[in-house]
């Protein structure tokens, strides 16, 4: 059987051996030069470096990884790259990874189908990753029973806590408390809620926060409305509320996009914001899209979340072991869609 050619012409990538042959030295000397080790004659070093240049040598990632058992990459699994939550997750993790001189190995699962943590883990495990991060934007069917792969750091980005896996997320419950407290201080009590799709984990926690605050204040909560995160769905909901609820003084929309839609709907219905109805959102995501963004909202520190996620997935000496659940608080940003009630 024909041995692959010794790279006179061959398509095989250039190895240290090829460089060694070209420079007339041993492969070890090439290694020494490549890694800047001492005890190499200056003349020899030159010769080797020239050979490297000419042959276009690049060290084999596979060979090196095999040797030192590390990949310098962290695996990230999301279902849909474009969703605000996932995007901001990628961004945050990317910058944390960069600080650690690490790449991200990104796998996008099906955008529509439900996916299990086991499946996500299985796919990530076949890739060059030192740690696994799974964005769980909707409840996985095997969340309770899931066991992380031994020997590799695993983090799930979600609000739910897990007994055997570290979870990290922005505090989607706490943001509701911030906003609701703000509205209460302004005298609002009849606060309607426009949520995202009910399968969304973020939605579940944001809604729970809204509901709990009302209950704690002994206010009977009116039925929450369900949107799909889009401005149009917020508009629909806003229209409905403007026409059917005369007692409402404020709307809490579970994201800024829906809040923006709701504001448009209220104004189209002849209601003033914030004079007649106050509106709040979450995410602080409108700036690029809307001129003079005036929405009161909550901003999350997504880079901090990225760092936390990364550092728990790839524990840097010592941090290892403990399973924790980290919730990163948001920050209330008061603009001009909220005002005190008249009463």
Partner DNA sequence: AGTGTTATGATAGACGGGTTCTTTTGTCTA
Partner DNA sequence: TAGACAAAAGAACCCGTCTATCATAACACT
Cα dihedral 155→158→161→167 (10° resolution)? 20
H or E, element range at 77: strand 73-78
Regarding 1 and contact with its own copies (CB under 8 A), the answer is: no
Calpha distance 333→90 (Å, rounded): 24
Strands 297-299 and 250-253: unpaired
Contact (CB, 8 A) for 308 and 99: no
Min dist CB 231 to DNA, Å, is 49
Binding residues for its own copies, how many (CB under 8 A)?
Answer: 60
Contact (CB, 8 A) for 157 and 187: no
Q: Out of its own copies, DNA, none, which partner does residue 208 contact, by CB within 5 to 8 A per kind?
A: none
Residues 55 to 74: which contact DNA by CB under 7 A? 57-60, 62-64, 66-69
Calpha distance 309→144 (Å, rounded): 20
Residues 62 to 91: which contact its own copies by CB under 8 A? 62-63, 65-66, 69, 71-73, 81-82, 87-88, 90-91
Q: Out of DNA, its own copies, none, which partner does residue 112 contact, by CB within 5 to 8 A per kind?
A: none
Structure tokens at 47: 């010769």
Contact (CB, 8 A) for 337 and 273: yes
- Per-residue interface string for the shown chain with its own copies, residues 42-61, x marking contact by CB under 8 A: --------------x-xxxx
| CA neighbor of 341 nearest in space, from 277, 263, 267 | 277
Residues that bind DNA (CB under 7 A): 1, 3-4, 12-13, 15-17, 20, 24-29, 31, 34-35, 38-45, 57-60, 62-64, 66-69
Binding site for its own copies (CB under 8 A): 11-14, 56, 58-63, 65-66, 69, 71-73, 81-82, 87-88, 90-91, 94-95, 97-98, 103-108, 125-128, 149-151, 229-232, 234-235, 257, 260-261, 264-265, 285-293
């Amino acid at each position: 059987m024909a041995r692959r050619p010794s790279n006179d012409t061959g398509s095989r990538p250039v190895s240290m051996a090829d460089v060694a042959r070209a420079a007339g030295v041993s492969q070890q000397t090439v290694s020494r030069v490549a890694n800047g080790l001492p005890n190499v004659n200056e003349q020899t070093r030159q010769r080797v470096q020239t050979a490297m240049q000419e042959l276009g040598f690049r060290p084999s990632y596979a060979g090196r990884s095999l040797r030192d058992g590390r990949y310098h990459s962290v695996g990230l699994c999301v279902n849909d790259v474009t969703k605000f939550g996932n995007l901001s997750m990628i961004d945050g993790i990317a910058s944390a990874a960069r600080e650690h001189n690490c790449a991200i190995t990104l796998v996008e699962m099906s955008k529509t189908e439900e996916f299990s943590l086991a499946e996500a883990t299985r796919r990530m495990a076949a890739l060059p990753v030192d740690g696994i991060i799974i964005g769980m934007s909707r409840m996985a069917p095997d969340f309770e029973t899931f066991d992380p792969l031994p020997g590799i750091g695993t983090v799930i980005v979600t609000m739910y806590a897990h007994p055997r896996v570290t979870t990290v997320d922005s505090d989607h419950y706490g943001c509701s408390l911030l906003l609701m407290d703000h509205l209460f201080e302004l005298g609002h009590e009849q606060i309607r809620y426009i949520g995202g799709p009910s399968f969304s984990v973020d939605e579940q926690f944001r809604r729970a926060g809204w509901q709990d605050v009302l209950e704690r204040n002994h206010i009977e909560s009116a039925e929450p409305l369900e949107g799909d995160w889009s401005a149009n769905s917020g508009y629909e909901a806003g229209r409905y509320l403007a026409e059917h609820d005369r007692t409402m003084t404020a709307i809490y929309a579970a994201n800024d996009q829906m809040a923006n839609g709701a504001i448009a709907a209220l104004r189209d219905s002849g209601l003033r914001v914030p004079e007649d109805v106050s509106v709040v959102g979450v995410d602080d995501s409108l700036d690029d899209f809307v001129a003079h963004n005036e929405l009161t909202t909550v901003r999350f520190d997504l880079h901090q979340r990225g760092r936390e996620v990364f550092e728990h997935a790839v524990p840097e000496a010592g941090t290892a072991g403990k399973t924790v659940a980290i919730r990163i608080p948001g920050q209330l940003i008061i603009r001009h869609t909220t005002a005190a009630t008249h009463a």
